Amino acid sequence: MPPKADPSEIKYVILRATGGEVAGGSALAPKIGPLGLSPKKVGEDIAKATKDWKGLRVTVRLVIQNRQATVEILPSASSLVIKALKEVPRDRKKEKNIKHNGNLTLDEVIEIARKMKFKSYARELSGVVREILGTCFSVGCTVDGESPQDISAKVASGNIPFPLASKDEDSSRTFFEDKKKSLKPYEQTYDYFMVLDFEATCCDRDKRFVNEIIEFPIVVLDGRNGVKVQQFREYVRPTKNKVLTEFCINLTGIQQETVDEAALFPQVFNSAKNFYNKFHNENPCSRSIFVTCGDWDLKSMLPRQAKNSNVKVPVYFQEWINIKTPFKLYLANSKIKNNKRLGMPTMLKTFGLPLIGRHHSGLDDCRNICNITYKLIQNGILLEKTGEWSQELKEELSEKH
């Protein structure tokens, strides 16, 4: 029986949806079922509310009161850019790795920037425009027939005449400058960030060496307050190269006896899935995503390990945020030049954060990535999915329900 509702209580649930499509009831049920809502009805409401965004992935917020849900669309910069391209809607299930190669005018970019200004910490509209130009580059389109990066450089140098701010923008900027210290970072798409950093067997001499996961850590960061609320860590016994190389031991600090006593990957992976599911059962209305430092962990290593160990992978391990991507946006917004290799030590140094533990200890790396992640949130950077498996990989390795 659904819980008794307080008619005056308002709750919010953040979801990702494909515009104009009815979300599957099995995907909605864990998030809204405990609130006494019908997944089928809510799915239909979301499809109706997002019909103008057909085929695009958008974030929606459900405002729930007295077992009634109102759907609000929270468009991201990328979805606004793609919508402005006016492309023919494409079926994401049939077409793999959809690419966008259209063209926007600078006026269209400025209009998108006006809509997204409330989410930006840039003091001037020109700063928001440069952020949107960065999004255009990521999407793959041009602006006025040129590379968005070239247009951004012209905006920064003042070579492009820029429209004056409206009175509303002037007043909002004044308010922002006066109140910046007391403002909280804007609402993120995700409540929790599941920070993951594998360590694997390695060799500095043999390029054909088969890597296997030997440390599987996860640290859960509450994006609203920066608290590391839970953690998981298990070591894994390798099967291809059972004896760790001296290079691997020195790099990771993991000892031979540690992996000799560890479980095999299928058992450890089940434990990791149980950890994830238990956390979300305890936090049924929350939304989370994995965070990594680079794409290697979930794009390359996990699929390879899953094939070697003959295991299937649930969908939540198939998409992630590569923290380097929003960090680059932070550098661009802050006009900070970085000529060093973009890795965890560089990001820590940029924010003045100390290194916790040792680098290349999986659990310590997760804790450090948590601190970087929260610094980005505090600086007003919206953290959104940056990577996911190809459709081919999903069809091959996904868990079947």
| Gap between the Cα atoms of 385 and 393, Å rounded | 18
| Gap between the Cα atoms of 224 and 79, Å rounded | 24
C-alpha of 188 from chain center: 10
Q: C-alpha angle 8/188/329, rounded to 5°?
A: 160
Half-sphere exposure of 304 (CA within 13 A, CB side): 15
Is 169 catalytic? The answer is: no
| Gap between the Cα atoms of 52 and 73, Å rounded | 11
Annotated catalytic residue: which of 108, 212, 280, 360? Answer: 360
Tokens of 115: 């809509």
Is 131 catalytic? The answer is: no
Is the Cα torsion angle 152, 157, 163, 165 positive or negative in sign?
A: positive
Annotated catalytic residue: which of 108, 131, 199, 384? Answer: 199
User: What residues are labeled active site?
Assistant: 199, 360
